[in-house]
Amino acid sequence: MIMRADIKRFPPPGSTCAVSAAADPCTIVIFGASGDLASRKIIPSLYRLYCRGLLPERFTVVGAARTPHTHSSFRALTHEAVMKFDPGDFDTSLCESFASRLFYRQVAYDNIEAMTALGAYLDGVELEAGYQGNRIFYCAVPPALYPVIIGGIGEAGLDAEARGWTRIVIEKPFGESLESARALTASLYRYFREDQVFRMDHYLGKETVQNILMFRFANAIYEPIWNRQYVDHVQITASETIGIEHRAGYYDRAGVVRDMFQNHMLQLLALVAMEPPARFEAEPVRDEKGKVMNSIRPFDPAAMGANWAFGQYARGIVGGESSRGYREERNVLPDSITPTFAAGVFHVDNWRWRGVPFLLRSGKRLSAQVTEIAVHFKAAPHFMFDRVMHDPIGPNVLVFRIQPDEGITQGFYAKMPGSRLCLQRVNMEFSYREMVGMTALDAYQRVLLDCMSGDRMLFVRQDSVELTWALLDPVIDIVGGMGLPELYASGSDGPESAKRLADKYGRSWRPLGNDHIMKGVQ
């Protein structure tokens, strides 16, 4: 057994950015523990938290799924997952010590007797570990199984909090429409209070996303100009080079609007647009995000083309290799009209943002993987260089890079050595990767730790879920009746209709890919 003193502390002792370990002993029950999500994300993240000394002194992980496994075979599966998905700094002794806290139960989710037996098993495991109560139920299963598992937990009495707290974690999508989202909430509220429900959007756990609020409200030079008087427009981009991989069963029903806009994209918009909360705590922050959602102008179904563009990837070249089209993907219907790209223009009708367009786009099989928020400030009102410069001077742009290289870039213009009239755009850079001695928690580690600590700031509240579905349901309905979206070549920046959409508002999309190269102005 590895003693806690032997575990690597994170951050190192003396760091000014200490991360507090979860204090309460707890049991983490992973429904769907034999599946892909548990292997790729949840188990490696828990292992990394353990290695950094951030898990409680006493904890137990119980895998629960329909697949038959023994404790030993489940621990072997865990070892393989850590080796495959988190090979950095792998430590055999630590992995074995971590695995000793893992157990497995084969469970039929819709069988009340089996769920009741799971509860009795948890009681025994906790008693042997020296604590009772405090449980997290993590639903790492397809969304269709959420109500089944929630009902099983409730009917078996596992939601009781007589000996400690109980929390349930579900990942997006939180329903497929406003109606289904409300039905999911009703099933949750039958057994759980809202403060027990942790709706996880892993984008919100990324360091740069968390840094948006810190950057805005801790730096006095930005907050006074963070409004319609100084900001021309905001672009939010989430582009991927990959296709749908093995998710055809889900994606061909969902499409890009359900998959990306209802959660990731609108959560990012809310963080950029929200007002300063009275306190930096979960509920005040989420209150302000809700106000932004309430302020977004509804879309007119009769004028959808003025605000949206849709596309579907066709054959092309990605990363130097030939790529097939969406309709050629395995398990995709040959006549599918599911959009894999969408661009939309959103308007936040409040005092701060009235008249400032928010341009959002997301798509698959594009030329680069990039997720960023670009705040375009208005150009200077008077250019004294107009008569002597060949090219116009562009506006200042502040970019929050969310992935793959997390950081912040502020572009501005400065005179270069030499000619009296030689201006060049230069960047002030902040990069997490380049910070000496700082290795950030990844998104899953962050949200798992917050769930154990009971911090709900990075989790989505039900009012935001319903507001975003109410906003996007009409868009999804219109898309379903539009026929085949415009085809775009894999490896491109998306369909031409997206460019035309931006042109209608007198703006241009930022090129996908690395925009850190300094561009000279002659």
* Residue found under tokens 């379903």: 480
Q: What is the dihedral of CA 66, 67, 73, 78, to 10 degrees?
A: -80
Q: Beta strand 166-171 with 135-139: parallel, antiparallel or unpaired?
A: parallel
The tokens for 265 are: 């994209």
Task: For residue 5, give every residue at least 6 positions away whose Cβ sits within 8 Å of its Cβ, in sequence order, or none.
Answer: none
The span from the CA of 256 to the CA of 84, in Å, is 29
Say how many residues make up the chain: 522
Closest C-alpha among 455, 442, 458, 452 to residue 44? 442
3-state secondary structure of 425: strand
Task: For residue 440, give every residue at least 6 positions away whose Cβ sits within 8 Å of its Cβ, in sequence order, or none.
Answer: 207, 406, 432
- 264 catalytically annotated: yes
Do 255 and 228 touch, CB atoms closer than 8 A?
no
Task: For residue 499, give every residue at least 6 positions away whose Cβ sits within 8 Å of its Cβ, in sequence order, or none.
Answer: 508, 509
The span from the CA of 217 to the CA of 73, in Å, is 49
The tokens for 224 are: 């006074």
Angle at 89 between CA 7 and CA 92, to 5 degrees: 70
**Residue 151 half-sphere exposure, CB side, CA atoms within 13 Å?**
14
The tokens for 239 are: 């582009």
Do 202 and 447 touch, CB atoms closer than 8 A?
yes
Do 58 and 131 touch, CB atoms closer than 8 A?
yes
Question: Largest Cα–Cα distance in the chain?
Answer: 82
- The catalytically annotated residue of 264, 347, 382, 390 is 264
From the centroid of its chain, how far is CA 462? Answer: 17
The tokens for 421 are: 């009239």
Active site residues: 264
